[in-house]
Amino acid sequence: MATPSDRRLSIAVALDPAAPLESVLRSALSLAGPSATLIGVFVEDTEATELQRSGLAREVTTLGETRSIGGGRLARQLAVRSRAVRLSFERGAASLGVQHSFEVLRGPGIEGLRRRLEQLDALVISRAYRRAGVRSWYGLPVHRLVGSAGRMVLFVQEEWTSGRRVVLLPAEGERGAATRALAGRIAAAEGLEAVVLAEPETGAPAPAGFRFRPLARATPAEVAAALGAEDARVLIVPREHPLAAPAALAELLRRTDASVLVA
């Protein structure tokens, strides 16, 4: 995997209007450095518009009433939201001095993001706060994007500036060395402590710059509990780790407020 010092990385930022924009932009820069190119992505899921044309779509008002969505109202709402998200993204990226662009993906949401991810180095997915309601991203199973074309995927679930530690699940060989280097780079850039969740081998020292936290089993529940105890900002999960499997990852994302990077 190329590092920011090797070349300019291209990172897509899948924008959720309910999530904090500045936080997700800063997380992308922590991942790849200020030389990265950020691509703001707004998804217009055509399945929703097709449902509207069928006459089956319903809108729920703030009063709890339901009504049909007709006369192109859904398309107009999407266009207004897209413009607002674009302006907010462009202002935020410009204020950080980072090269950027914006695009709208039209089509089935997950497939559109997966195809775009195959052309880039990483995808950052901003997710609304738990207090904002449902944590799923537009109702799409975005955890299924992990493993697409071997790219990195970062789920930003809380304010990126919250949390005091970068936590790593270990891997063997070159993959382990690469994820340790990534964790160390993020920790150094953010001024955070780096922690490895693993039972240290007898007499074996922790990797340089890390400390061990014992972990009996790497289940979503136990890892989430460890993240809470460590006040973690982000957990780095190697792609081959069992917790990177879609079902396990979805459960972990439900259980923790920490951001999760599958690398």
Residue pLDDT, tens place only, 80-108: 778 888 888 898 888 888 899 998 887 66
pLDDT-derived band at 135, boundaries 50, 70, 90: very low
Whole-number pLDDT of residue 14: 83
Residue 194 tokens, joined: 């780096």
10 phi and psi, to 5 degrees?
-105, 120
Q: Where are the alpha helices (DSSP H) in 33-141?
A: 46-54, 73-95, 109-117
CA–CA dist 11, 31 (Å, integer): 9
Average pLDDT over residues 39-64: 63
Whole-number pLDDT of residue 4: 41
Q: How far is CA 154 from CA 109, 158, 201, 235, in A?
A: 17, 12, 29, 10
